[in-house]
Amino acid sequence: MQIFADALRDGIAAFSQGTIDVWGIVWTSLQTSGTAVFFSLFLGIPAGFFLGTRRFVGRRLLITIANTGMGLPPVAVGLIVAMTLSRRGPLGDLDLLYTRPAMVMAQVIIALPIVAAVTAAAVGAVPREVRLQARSLGASRIHEAILTLAEARLGLVAAVAAGFGQIISEVGAVTMVGGNLEGSTRVMTTAIVQFTRMGKYGPALALSAVLLGLIFLVNVLLAAGQHSADRFERT
């Protein structure tokens, strides 16, 4: 266990000396993953709602595709996005490879099926009578959707947690499309890989602790949201 204690002490020392721009790296992680989660929710919740509540031909197939998408290998996503954005690729003129927007793009593709599938499951669990009653009382389609999503909010929180947890911990795709460039696309996971490769186990371990702490914090916040939602329900 000595090796961990030593490494952690080294890492904290390296951080406090300011030789490594830890907060810059953490901030880049939060910015890219936060933006990606926002877009995933923006697209994934309506898609999930649609899948979970509407009956139409091919629905089962789409749900299966979304569920498969939850297990989409991030490296495959990274590879395809990188090839698409490369100078020789179809979107090469955009000059986006090795930039933050490229990372957000890949992360949205990774998180979107997760958000959609979890949302679909959550709204699917809301009793159909709730929606029918709302409609019979004169609610519009939009109102009906809002009501259903409010009923399914616990599941939606799970969708946020799952999507965010997946992309902030992901390393393969963000390396391929971001390039781990210092001060622009270096995020916590890519920095951890780099420090490990360089034999700097200290900063790598300390940064892993920060990453773990951050995911924990986000889940505490989400759980708090869930809890207050719970209380709201009982009163």
State the residues that interact with another protein by CB under 8 A.
Answer: 86-88, 97-98, 175, 179-184, 186, 190-191, 194, 196-201
Q: How far apart are the first and last CA of the chain?
A: 49
**Do the beta carbons of residue 120 and residue 72 sit within 8 Å?**
no
**CA–CA separation, 187 vs 104, rounded Å?**
12
Closest CB to another protein among 20 and 158? 20
Q: Between residues 18 and 199, which has the closer beta carbon with respect to another protein?
A: 199
Shortest distance in whole angstroms from residue 87 CB to another protein: 6
Nearer to another protein, 50 or 201 (CB): 201
Name which of 84, 49, 42, 78 is nearest 66 in CA terms.
Answer: 49
Q: How far is the CB of 98 from another protein (least distance, A)?
A: 5
Nearest CB to another protein, comparing residues 70 and 75: 75
Contact present, 98 and 181 (Cβ < 8 Å) = yes
Answer for the pair 115, 42: CB distance below 8 angstroms, yes or no: no
CA distance 66 to 173: 19
